Amino acid sequence: MNQKIPLSWLQLTREKTRLAVALAGISFADILMFMQLGFRDALYYSNVRFHNSLQGDIVLINSQSSAVLAMRSFSQRRLYKALELPAVQSVHPIYLDFTIWKNPVTGRPRSILIFGMNPENNLVNLPGVQENLDKLKLPDVVLFDRSSRVEYGPIAANYDQGKTVTSEVRRRRIKVEGLFTLGASFGADGNLITSDINFLRIFNNRQQGLIDIGLIRLKPGANATVVAQELRKYLPNEVNVLTKQEFIDFERNYWANSTAIGFIFTLGTVMGFIVGTVIVYQILYTEVADHLSEYATLKAIGYTQNYLLTVILQEALLLAVLGYVPGIIFTLFMYDSARKATLLPVFMSFDRAVMVLILTILMCVISGAIAVRKLRSADPADIF
pTM given for the model: 0.81
Are the C-beta atoms of 339 and 43 separated by less than 8 Å?
no
Residue 305 has what pLDDT?
66
The gap between the terminal CA atoms of the chain, to the nearest Å, is: 22
Amino acid 377: pLDDT: 56
For residues 342 and 200, give the distance between their C-alpha atoms in angstroms, rounded to a whole number.
31
pLDDT at 365: 84
Q: Are 99 and 203 in contact (CB under 8 A)?
A: yes
pLDDT of residue 136: 95
CA distance 139 to 123: 20
Residues 6+ apart with CB under 8 A from 368: 280, 284, 312, 313, 315, 316
CA dist 64 and 363 (Å) reads: 43
pLDDT at 275 (0 to 100): 86
What lies within 8 Å, CB to CB, of 298 at 6+ separation is 307, 308
CA distances from 284 to 158, 290, 317 (A): 59, 10, 11
Give me the DSSP letters along 170-184. Answer: TTEEEEEEEEE----
pLDDT at 15: 75
Rounded CA-CA distance 42/264 in Å is 14
Give rounded-to-5 percent helix, strand, coil for the chain. 55, 20, 25
CA dihedral 198, 200, 204, 206 (to 10 degrees): 160
> What are the strands, taking DSSP E only, across 57-212?
58-62, 74-75, 88-102, 109-117, 141-145, 165-169, 172-180, 191-195, 210-211
Q: Is 29 exposed, middle or buried (0-12, 13-18, 19+ CB in 10 A)?
A: buried
Q: What is the pLDDT along the chain (384 residues), one digit of tens a residue?
A: 445 667 677 777 777 887 888 888 889 999 999 999 999 888 888 889 999 999 999 999 999 998 888 899 999 999 999 999 999 999 999 999 999 999 999 989 999 999 999 999 999 999 999 999 999 999 999 999 999 999 999 999 999 999 999 999 988 999 999 999 998 888 889 999 999 999 999 999 898 889 999 999 999 999 999 999 999 998 888 999 999 999 999 999 898 888 778 788 888 888 888 988 888 888 777 777 776 676 667 666 766 667 777 777 888 888 888 999 999 999 999 999 988 888 888 899 999 999 999 999 998 888 888 877 766 655 555 555
- pLDDT for the residue 21: 83
Q: How many residues does the chain have?
A: 384
Report pLDDT for 1.
Answer: 44
pLDDT of residue 379: 57
- Type of residue found at 74: F
| Contacts of range 46-50, beta carbons closer than 8 Å, 24 or more positions apart | 46/183, 46/184, 46/185, 46/186, 46/344, 46/345, 47/185, 47/186, 47/187, 47/251, 47/252, 47/255, 48/248, 48/251, 48/252, 49/182, 49/183, 49/185, 49/345, 50/115, 50/124, 50/182, 50/191
276 neighbors 25 (Cβ within 8 angstroms): yes
